[in-house]
Amino acid sequence: MTRRILKQGGMAVAGLLWVLAWMSPPAPMAGASAVPREAQAAFEKKAYQQALDELAKLDKERSAAPDVRRLKIRSLINIGKPKEALDEYGLLTQSLKRDDELVLREVALGMIVVLVKDMREQMRGAAYTALKEIDSADAVPFFEDGLSDGSAPVRALAVEGLGRTEAGRKSKKLRGALEDPAGEVKARVVKALGRSGDHSVLPLIETAAKDELSPVRIAAYAALIRLGKKEAWEDLRKAADAANPDDRTDAIRAMADLKDQRGAPLFMELLTYSQPSVRGIAARGLGQLGRKEAREKIELLLKDPIPGVRESAVSSLADLHSVESVPAISLLLSDGQMTVRAAAVASLLQLGQPFETVVETARALAQQSDTAARASIAFALGKASKPNAKAAVSFLGSLTADPLPGPKIVALRSLGHIGDRELIPLMKDSMQDTNEAVRATAAGALLHLLQLKP
């Protein structure tokens, strides 16, 4: 498999079809006689433009043959023109009267990969975020390539992508990223290595536990605990008592992520802490630990003066499956802060409340001129539980027509999480969007949906 997907500094996609092998086995060229021998030979030599030039010589009838179109699509993808490939794919489906899912996967992946070397950080970030929707170890080479990106946030996304699969967590390049100059990247690397279950990384994590940056040390304590070093709990517990509120929140988050019930008494105590971020993360931690006895105390935070704390509390109650808290959560549908209203919508939908109970709030947020409000409700609807999924999908579909990319991107991502294969036509349409980040997001959602059983 080709390990370097894009030519450095260029837009040509090298060897992309090899990477696509994980999606499904290559289809045989049933009508191979329709494909000129010269075009096929050029393609096999990776002379993709030459292959296209040969195909351009064909008469109209022969150039419309399905196998000719497939070769043209694949050649366009490999020279970094996925939008033109998508146009050609539309003609292929017209002649076949159906989707060719193998080719559709190739087009969708090409739509994402073409952005991983874009000059704009935002577009590269969109590409790696979309790649995270692909649940396959064979996406590892893409993420490994992203570890050398010039942007720390993009490298962090690449680390997250590697952390999603066993193969990624065992990547040698991931280990090498422990030398990354950015603390946020190093901390995520340590976290991913801790989840690998590979005890050979212990020396690396033990070194990270002495790092000069506290986020890296805290991530290392949690990683050591995951790998059986129970004595690291004392270091993590001390970090939770740190004077720096950021260190406290990092340590509490790590305890909650570990699902370690030893943290519950501390979280209960911190629900009244003076620093808002600490109160909020303590509430979320109790939700993650499933501590239902904390429900009433968490409900008190629904009246906290800080919006972020109210959001954390309402999300925690959803994690606790606290149907008893529905009346209190419902009051937040009229909260003065739009992000809190959106969080209340998400929580109620997670708790299985009828969509009708939140639709008025959802509609009001979707109609606001504030882009963040529209994005917030798009994100919230992506949290809908199965009984509410159909109604949420219908509402989200309207948000994909937003005039600005931000809300559309969030809506498409939410649809990919709660939708089914019936949304494939919508994702194909969204891959025609004028904005590259929207197209990449739709492609990632499409690839995720194609992995679902028909």
What's the N-to-C CA distance of the chain in angstroms? 28
Domain ranges of the chain: 1-114, 134-239
Q: Using DSSP, state whether 6 is helix, strand or coil.
A: strand
Q: What is the pLDDT of residues 332-350, one digit of tens each?
A: 999 999 999 999 999 999 9
pLDDT for res 62: 87
Give mean pLDDT, residues 99-128: 95
- In terms of Cβ atoms closer than 10 Å to its own Cβ (0-12, 13-18, 19+), residue 82 is buried
Whether the per-residue pLDDT at 399 is higher than 70: the answer is yes
The per-residue pLDDT of the chain, averaged, comes to 91
Segment among 11-15, 300-304, 383-387 with least mean pLDDT = 11-15
Segment among 31-35, 36-40, 213-217, 382-386 with least mean pLDDT = 31-35
User: Binning pLDDT at 50, 70 and 90, where does residue 453 land?
Assistant: confident
- In terms of Cβ atoms closer than 10 Å to its own Cβ (0-12, 13-18, 19+), residue 55 is buried
**Measured distance CA(109)–CA(79) in Å, rounded:** 13
What sign does the CA torsion over 274, 276, 281, 287 have? positive
What sign does the CA torsion over 128, 133, 139, 144 have? positive
Q: Indicate whether this model's pTM tops 0.85.
A: yes
User: Binning pLDDT at 50, 70 and 90, where does residue 277 land?
Assistant: very high
User: Binning pLDDT at 50, 70 and 90, where does residue 33 land?
Assistant: low
Whether the per-residue pLDDT at 16 is higher than 60: the answer is no
pLDDT for res 24: 40
Name the DSSP class of 182: -
Phi first, then psi: give them for residue 52, nearest 5 degrees. Answer: -65, -40
Which is nearest to 381 in space by CA: 351, 418, 356, 407? 418
User: Binning pLDDT at 50, 70 and 90, where does residue 124 land?
Assistant: very high
Give mean pLDDT, residues 281-297: 96
**Measured distance CA(284)–CA(280) in Å, rounded:** 6
% pLDDT > 70, the chain: 93
Whether the per-residue pLDDT at 4 is higher than 50: the answer is no
**Measured distance CA(246)–CA(278) in Å, rounded:** 8
If phi > 0 it is left, if psi is from -120 to 50 it is alpha, else beta; for residue 25 that is beta
Give residue 315's identity as a one-letter amino acid code.
S
User: Binning pLDDT at 50, 70 and 90, where does residue 3 land?
Assistant: very low
User: Binning pLDDT at 50, 70 and 90, where does residue 454 land?
Assistant: confident
Give mean pLDDT, residues 51-56: 95
CB 163 within 8 Å of CB 177: no
Give mean pLDDT, residues 371-394: 95
Which is nearest to 305 in space by CA: 268, 269, 279, 333? 279
**Measured distance CA(197)–CA(397) in Å, rounded:** 40
pLDDT for res 18: 39
3-state helix vs strand vs coil in the chain, percent to 5: 70, 0, 30
Q: What is the pLDDT of residues 159-188, one digit of tens each?
A: 999 999 999 999 999 999 999 999 999 999
**Measured distance CA(366)–CA(363) in Å, rounded:** 5
Give residue 2's identity as a one-letter amino acid code.
T
Q: How many CB atoms lie within 10 A of CB 311?
A: 27
Segment among 5-9, 76-80, 258-262 with least mean pLDDT = 5-9
**Count of all residues that appear for the chain in the document:** 454
Give mean pLDDT, residues 108-133: 95
CB 331 within 8 Å of CB 343: no
Phi first, then psi: give them for residue 13, nearest 5 degrees. Answer: -95, 115
Whether the per-residue pLDDT at 304 is higher than 80: the answer is yes
Give mean pLDDT, residues 126-148: 91
**Measured distance CA(53)–CA(423) in Å, rounded:** 35
Give mean pLDDT, residues 200-213: 96
For domain 134-239, say whether CATH 1.10.287.70 is its number: no
Cα 395 from chain centroid (whole Å): 21
**Measured distance CA(433)–CA(136) in Å, rounded:** 26
**Measured distance CA(385)–CA(110) in Å, rounded:** 32
Q: How far is CA 378 from CA 234, 345, 427, in A?
A: 41, 10, 16
Which is nearest to 176 in space by CA: 197, 199, 145? 145
